[in-house]
Amino acid sequence: MTVPSPLPPASLRPRCDPASLPFSTTAEVAPLADPLGQARALEALAFGTGIRRDGFHLFVMGSNEAGRRRLVAGALAARAAREPVPPDLCYVRDFDDARHPRVLRLPAGRGRAFQRDVDAMLDDLAAAIPAALEGDEHRARLRAVEEEVREEHEKAMAALREKAQARGITLVRTPLGFALAPLRDGHVMPTEVFEALPAEDKARIEAAIEALQEELREIVTAMPRLEKALRERVRALARETTEAAVAREVDETAARWADEPAAKAHLLAVRADVVADPSPFLRPAESKESPPLFEEASDGAVPGGPRRRYRVHVVVDRAGERGAPVVEEPHPSHPNLVGRVEYLAKMGALVTDFDLLRAGALQRADGGYLVLEARALLTQPWAWEALKQSLRARCVRTESLGQTLGLLHTVTLEPEAAPLATKVVLTGEREVFRLLDAYDPDFRALFKVVVDLDEDLPRDGDGPLAYARFVAGVVVEEGLSPFDRGAVAAVVESGARWAGDAARLSARTEDLADLLREADWFAREAGAATVGAAHVAAAVAARERRLGRVRERLLEETLSGTLLVETTGRRVGTVNGLAVLDAGRFAFGRPARISARVRLGKGDVVDLEREVDLGGPVHSKGVLILSAFLGARFGADGPLAFHGTLAFEQSYGPVEGDSASCAELVALLSALADLPVRQDLAITGSVDQHGAVQAVGGVSEKLEGFFDLCSARGLSGTQGALLPASNVRHLALRDDVVEAAAAGRFSVHAVATVDEAVELLTGVPAGVRGPDGTWTEGSVNARVAARLAAFEQRRREAARDDRRAAGKDGA
């Protein structure tokens, strides 16, 4: 087997040749019109925003929140600008049921105009109605009616009194009522005189009083009817007078709104209500008493006083807007979504009315687009449910959470639901999307359009040029200094490094824009008119320096010998593995010592990390895979009589991933073969059951971590690192690593099988199995097989000894 040669420097960091860029500086480059590398997402956005069918709302997913928002905002703004402005949303009182304010929709910008017209009309009514009802004419007519009714009653009483007097009977009003009594000489007849009268006279008097009493009762009985008739006539008179005053003002306003049926209908309703009860326009003393709680919400606090019942409450005013609305609600709580009913404290009670309704994001986004961050939405109580209900019903019902949950038992408003024709754009991470898709059946029905943001774009073809145009866009947008072609090439190489793939470029535009801003700062500090490659490199280095405290501390601990990692010599059962640590915004590699020990046993390999619950499931799987490899390669003819243990030395935290499984296998093979492993080499890669080495993540950072340690101790020229062959295309190493490789002071080897790795690391051929099942003599595999055979022999001897001992005991 041929041991892989070190990779050429060109493979370690594919360069972006500045000369390949067709410009001197970005000042000559047209800025990118569309978001970088998001053609698929833009196509999905165009489809999702264009289709007007139920349930075709959008979920935009990607790992970068700022990138999602930027992409969505840009796409929606362009589309919304071409669409019509939706109507204003107003609420007016339902005069038949104050608890249910009615929706009134008017063309954009006309809501306020209607409100002003109605207010002016109310002012006119406030002058016209009292003038009419308190004017001489109405008063005279009122008095005439009252006089007429009163006279009718008084005439009847006067006639009865005359009739009584003619019969010698007095009729007077007393505190007990109207009294009838016989008269004598102008005064009430004394008892003794009455008693002295002849019986027939007394009977005649009593009969006369009896008859008069009946007539009196009839008159008195008729009085309530007369009073009722009087009230009705007074009301009719007031209605007639009010009607004349109101009709003039209302009809004039209604004529101006003849082209808006809803507005006209409201005006006619106002007219009917005012005619039925003009008291809100009269002086307080003449107003009706104790109106319902709604109506009196806050006459003192809200302009309009008692006349507020007729006002127009503009909930969403679109005056001056252009295009359809694009509403982004950063705090999508339940009330911020569906709106709320506010209350005012009045005399110790909370009161409300239709003009205390406040619009939520849904109402504001009606006819346009509503952008919500999924995680923020889902963490707000009942907000997600409210959104789904509104989208299903295609209307927004403004109600408090208390109402929704049935916890509010006081009287409150139940406004008419406002029609809803908005396109909702949810943005979020892929994990959130997957959770919603898996656990909420409504989600799939409502959010049918998935916009999946690409995290990177191909480097070949127009990739670098697209980067240049992106840079040009940021330069123009943020007033940065132009970037020369070298700087752009450096940005492209950084993009490749962030993509973790030399053949691709990162599409995380926010990170890229930050790099541009930082490079611009370095250029300005240096007094440069344009940003060059050195400024980009300085920005990258400064960023790593700023974030590199943990990396430096670990390196110091390793150099001081606190953390044991050898970079020279050889050691049996010990391999330098490579790990990646994620310190938030910065990931870096560090070497880790992986050790293996073997002894006689039953063929099991123990992962010590797993034993103490520090090993994650993927790591454990890796260990089980290498056990399976060993079993298949060396235990086909019998059991493996060994017990192996694997450990990440000086690791005190969780270990996850299988990228060390190849290193672990090499350590085990080294221990079994009793062959020392080179400590000036490190290895990363996972291994399958057949011994093939598989790609892992973060190879550049891992290799750089080992390079940094070697470099700090002084590069010997033999040091290097092994990585899976399938990872070579992901390499985007730092310049200093590439330079060391070019100078032959550090090497990078790509391995495809564990045999290649073990051969490189031990310096001993791995060996091949011959037709007779034996391995190449002196090879690593032959040594392993011999050691395992020795273990098996020892196991048999031990078993025999045990049986003998048992026989003796039995005898």
Partner 1 sequence: MTAPAPAPRRLVVAVDGSAASLAALAAAVAVALRTGARVEAVFAEDPDLLALAGAPAARVVAERTAASSRVDPAAMARAVAALADRVGAAVAQAAARARVPCAHRVVRARPAEALDATLQADDWVVLGRVGHSEAFGARLGSTASLLATQGRHVVMLVGRGEVVATPVAVLDDGSEGAARAVAAARAVAGADGGRLVVLRPVAVAVGEGAGPVAARTLVAALDAARVHGARLLVVPAGSAAGQEDRLADAPCAVLLVP
Binding residues for partner 1 (CB under 8 A): 151, 154-155, 157-158, 161, 170-182, 187-191, 194-195, 202, 205-206, 209-210, 213, 216-217, 220-221, 223
Nearer to partner 1, 112 or 163 (CB): 163
- Residues 438-444: contacts with CB within 8 Å, 24+ apart? 442/388, 442/392
Q: To the nearest whole angstrom, how small is the minimum distance from the Cβ of residue 195 to partner 1?
A: 7
Nearer to partner 1, 194 or 382 (CB): 194
Residues 6 or more apart whose Cβ sits within 8 Å of residue 188: 170, 181, 182
Nearer to partner 1, 44 or 160 (CB): 160
CA distance 690 to 524: 56
Q: To the nearest whole angstrom, how small is the minimum distance from the Cβ of residue 166 to partner 1?
A: 15
Q: To the nearest whole angstrom, how small is the minimum distance from the Cβ of residue 211 to partner 1?
A: 11
Q: To the nearest whole angstrom, how small is the minimum distance from the Cβ of residue 257 to partner 1?
A: 41
CA distance 553 to 556: 5
User: What number of H helices and E strands is found in the chain?
Assistant: 27, 30
Q: To the nearest whole angstrom, how small is the minimum distance from the Cβ of residue 145 to partner 1?
A: 16
C-alpha closest to that of 542 among 575, 572, 527, 520: 520
Per DSSP, what are the bridge partners of residue 456? Answer: 506
Nearer to partner 1, 5 or 174 (CB): 174
Q: Are 68 and 60 in contact (CB under 8 A)?
A: yes
Class of residue 599 by CB neighbours under 10 A (exposed 0-12, middle 13-18, buried 19+): exposed
CA distance 308 to 126: 12
CA distance 650 to 311: 76
Cα atoms in the 13 Å half-sphere on the side-chain side of 616: 11
Catalytic center residues: 659, 702
Q: To the nearest whole angstrom, how small is the minimum distance from the Cβ of residue 149 to partner 1?
A: 13
β-strand pairing of 747-751 with 720-724: parallel
Torsion of CA 317, 320, 323, 324, to 10 degrees: -10
Q: To the nearest whole angstrom, how small is the minimum distance from the Cβ of residue 278 to partner 1?
A: 22
Q: Are 779 and 633 in contact (CB under 8 A)?
A: no
* Residue 779 DSSP label: S
Q: To the nearest whole angstrom, how small is the minimum distance from the Cβ of residue 235 to partner 1?
A: 20
Cα atoms in the 13 Å half-sphere on the side-chain side of 772: 5
Q: To the nearest whole angstrom, how small is the minimum distance from the Cβ of residue 299 to partner 1?
A: 27
Nearer to partner 1, 186 or 320 (CB): 186
Nearer to partner 1, 5 or 191 (CB): 191
Q: In 449-461, which positions are buried (b, 16+ CB within 10 angstroms) versus exposed (e)?
A: bebebbbbbebee
Q: To the nearest whole angstrom, how small is the minimum distance from the Cβ of residue 222 to partner 1?
A: 9
Q: Are 169 and 207 in contact (CB under 8 A)?
A: no
Nearer to partner 1, 188 or 542 (CB): 188
Nearer to partner 1, 103 or 160 (CB): 160
Nearer to partner 1, 189 or 677 (CB): 189
Place of tokens 């499931």: 617
Nearer to partner 1, 45 or 209 (CB): 209
Per DSSP, what are the bridge partners of residue 373? Answer: 427
CA distance 62 to 342: 37
CA distance 512 to 475: 12
Q: Are 781 and 666 in contact (CB under 8 A)?
A: no
Q: Are 31 and 50 in contact (CB under 8 A)?
A: no
Question: DSSP labels for 562-621?
Answer: SS----SSEEETEEEEEEEEE-SS-EEEEEEEEEEEEEESSSEEEEHHHHTT-B-HHHHH
